[in-house]
Amino acid sequence: MSVTALHPTSDGLRLTAGHFACPKILLAGTVDYAMYDRFRDQLAAAPATGLVVTELSTLGGDPEVARMMGEDIRFHSEDRPDRRFVFLGKAAIYSAGATFMSFFARDNRYLTRGTRVMIHERKMEKMLQVAGPLTSCIAPVKALLHELEHSIAIQNEGFENLIRGSDITMDEVLKRAPHDWYLEAGEAQARGLVEAVI
């Protein structure tokens, strides 16, 4: 059997190590706007049909940049159904990396052996200074509360995308994410977060 042979899964074709020999999109480091620029350049140069592997290793970064990259994957997947976008996590997929991975269909998520996935709540560090007449103090407090509420909603949407198709419940994520939840590649596969470990 050749290394490019495809193996059926419930929803598609299971890939083998040979399919990941030449990823079309290679990303490593902090998820930030510089990574987004590299991602967009490589996405633009990726083949118009067939397999498009995105390989990532990251200790985290900006969750909104991860969402931007993820939305590009979602859009291109819907716009070009003749392309199959596949995620390969290598060594570390922390924080924003897990957010980006959540935009790939579960059957298109793979990890290399020994990779760790880390899921955690978004973090905020902000000082709120309240000064002046009491009635004028309400607006900044409400604005911060609204920011927190919407950030939690966006975070939980990402958690729901990540665990869809797995045996992990939202209750478990919400219980474990505040304390940085690490899953080794084999556990991530066993729990159904990814299709396979290569």
The CATH number covering residue 45 comes to: 3.90.226.10
Average pLDDT score, the chain: 92
pTM for this model (two decimals): 0.88
CA-wise closest residue to 90 among 67, 121, 112, 58:
112
CA-wise closest residue to 116 among 27, 191, 187, 16:
187
Q: Structural domain of residue 65, as residue ranges?
A: 7-197
Domains in the chain: how many in total? 1
Is 1 a member of any domain?
Answer: no
The whole-angstrom separation of Cα 116 and Cα 186 is 9
Mean pLDDT of 120-149: 90
Is residue 53 exposed (0-12), middle (13-18) or buried (19+ Cβ within 10 Å)? buried
Is 2 a member of any domain?
Answer: no
Question: Does residue 158 contact residue 67 with C-beta atoms inside 8 Å?
Answer: yes
Mean pLDDT of 114-132: 91
pLDDT at 134 over 80: yes
pLDDT at 1 over 80: no
pLDDT at 178 over 50: yes
pLDDT band (50, 70, 90) for residue 195: very high
Residue 4: Cβ within 10 Å count: 11
